[in-house]
Amino acid sequence: MPRLVVVSNRVAVPDVTGKGTAGGLAVALREAFQGYQGLWFGWSGRVAAQPSPLPRIVDKEDVQYVLLDLTPLDRREYYNGFANRALWPTMHYRVGLSDFSRADYTGYLRVNRTFAVALAKLVLPNDLVWVHDYHLIPLAAELRPLGLANLIGYFHHIPWPAPEVLGTLPGSTDLLRAIMDFNIVGVQTERDADNLRRALIQELSAASQKLNVLGAHGKSTCVKSFPIGIDVSDFQEVAARARPNRIVSQTIVGLGSRKLIIGVDRLDYSKGIRERMEAYERFLVSNPDERGHVTYLQIAPTSRSEVPEYETLSRAVNETLGRINGSLGEPGWVPIQYVTSTYPRSLLAALYRLARVALVTPMREGMNLVAKEYVASQDPLDPGVLILSKFAGAAQQLTGALIVNPNDKFEVAEAIREALRMGHEERVARWRTMIGPLRDRDVSWWAAAFLKELATQ
């Protein structure tokens, strides 16, 4: 069995309970390590004026966690700069928000090189190397000149945009060249795979060699979709376990006979939180009889607060929230409850199960795990309704959801009304069409499918 080396921007070292952080990637990668001796390499999350060139190593069970610190300049240019202010918006089709700076791009390449130099010393000839996400697109291109001939795969968690959109970003042709140094590139959906293949053909004159494999400049890479899944049975179990919890009990009492609508998203402009609040406002204005009979809870943990666009977003969301609650609320009823803390996974699962409707309406999104977690957490005998943006990768699989265009407030408002009024039989029928495929393509399937394909390149 070869060793598995995972590389990602941040590394989730398990805490004393052995569980690690709660995020989707941490869970997914824990699954990937099943059955492998592993090494997980990346940024520690710490910043130091003069970081040690030698990584910090933590051994936990079969996985060795290898952590590098960054300098304040690295964090500014590589992480907050090129990755999150240029690549992230462009890949989410927000070209107007993309702020390219040559200094940031140079910093992005520099950190990828620093990672490659430290990693190359640790990789053994038969190791499988699996790189994650847009922070590390040039990593294989930096590793190859250091002599690494290993199989190296890349999984892109966010959308791969149409070539015309990616082409607006300076440096994007270099990124496409760098992509060719991976043996396999995994994306979330067929649409992403098609966009990437077209970009390689248009920009690098790549030619098709065999199914899904393109060749250019003497290199070849396989581009394929692997929709990421969740740990379905874990969510089902946790959601069904009626553990006494203060917040859940408080929510149940607070709701009384009201129906709960839930949204859970990192505070990010790609998630469409403000647009969603406005659609809910439209729903309340058009359906005055529903006022006081429904509560919308939005959980939106703050993220990337050092990036100016996120601060602007936070202000805009607060303003919209205040306006809606002020104009439509009544003594004893707040239309939108909004919290920016992070809650334990078990609490999220319980809240998903309590909610009659989930609003998952990103403007553009690679997959969206929240949509899948909501479906998995439902009571099979009395499931809720998922309202899902057509621009989330998850919409390709969760066809039993009410699929909406998040740019159309009237359409989303109408879907809210339909979801709240949907009869028991239709709710069960829709849920059943979704839970089977979710189970078949869970997170273990995702990791195993990618690694199998990588190992056979």
Q: Per CB under 6 A, does 225 bind ligand GDG?
A: no
Report how far residue 439's alpha carbon sits from residue 443's, in angstroms, rounded to the nearest whole number.
9
Q: Which residue number, 85 or 157, has a Cβ lying nearer to ligand GDG? A: 157
> Helices 273-286 and 308-328 meet at what angle, rounded to 10?
10
- Contact between 400 and 430 (Cβ < 8 Å): yes
Minimum Å gap between C-beta 25 and ligand GDG is 6
Q: Which residue number, 22 or 455, has a Cβ lying nearer to ligand GDG? A: 22
Hey, what amino acid is at 223? Answer: V
Q: Per CB under 6 A, does 309 bind ligand GDG?
A: no
* C-alpha distances out from residue 446 to 173, 186, 281, 318, Å: 29, 10, 38, 37
Q: Per CB under 6 A, does 373 bind ligand GDG?
A: yes
* C-alpha distances out from residue 318 to 66, 113, 267, 278, 406, Å: 39, 40, 11, 12, 19
Report how far residue 273's alpha carbon sits from residue 270's, in angstroms, rounded to the nearest whole number.
8
Q: Per CB under 6 A, does 368 bind ligand GDG?
A: yes
Q: Per CB under 6 A, does 355 bind ligand GDG?
A: no
Minimum Å gap between C-beta 359 and ligand GDG is 13
Q: Cα torsion for 320, 326, 327, 333, to the nearest 10°?
A: 110
SS3 400: coil
**Backbone dihedral region of 217: left (phi > 0), alpha (psi from -120 to 50 degrees) or beta?**
left
Beta bridge partners of 131: 7, 154
Stretch that binds ligand GDG, among 110-118, 146-154, 168-176, 366-374 (CB under 6 A): 366-374
Q: Which residue number, 213 or 267, has a Cβ lying nearer to ligand GDG? A: 267
Minimum Å gap between C-beta 125 and ligand GDG is 30
Minimum Å gap between C-beta 24 and ligand GDG is 4
Report how far residue 184's alpha carbon sits from residue 192's, in angstroms, rounded to the nearest whole number.
14
Minimum Å gap between C-beta 228 and ligand GDG is 4
| Contacts to ligand GDG from residues 233-292, by CB under 6 A | 264, 266
Q: Per CB under 6 A, does 366 bind ligand GDG?
A: yes
Number of residues in contact with ligand GDG under rule CB under 6 A: 22
Q: Per CB under 6 A, does 370 bind ligand GDG?
A: yes
Site string for ligand GDG, 20-59 (x = CB under 6 A): --xxx-----------------------------------
Hey, what amino acid is at 138? Answer: P
* C-alpha distances out from residue 348 to 28, 89, 129, 333, 352, Å: 17, 28, 33, 23, 6
Q: Per CB under 6 A, does 94 bind ligand GDG?
A: no
Minimum Å gap between C-beta 426 and ligand GDG is 26
Minimum Å gap between C-beta 301 and ligand GDG is 5
- Contact between 11 and 42 (Cβ < 8 Å): yes
Q: Per CB under 6 A, does 14 bind ligand GDG?
A: no
Report how far residue 214's alpha carbon sits from residue 220's, in angstroms, rounded to the nearest whole number.
6
Site string for ligand GDG, 149-188 (x = CB under 6 A): --------xx------------------------------
Binding footprint of ligand GDG on the chain (CB under 6 A): 22-24, 157-158, 228, 264, 266, 299, 301, 342-345, 348, 365-370, 373
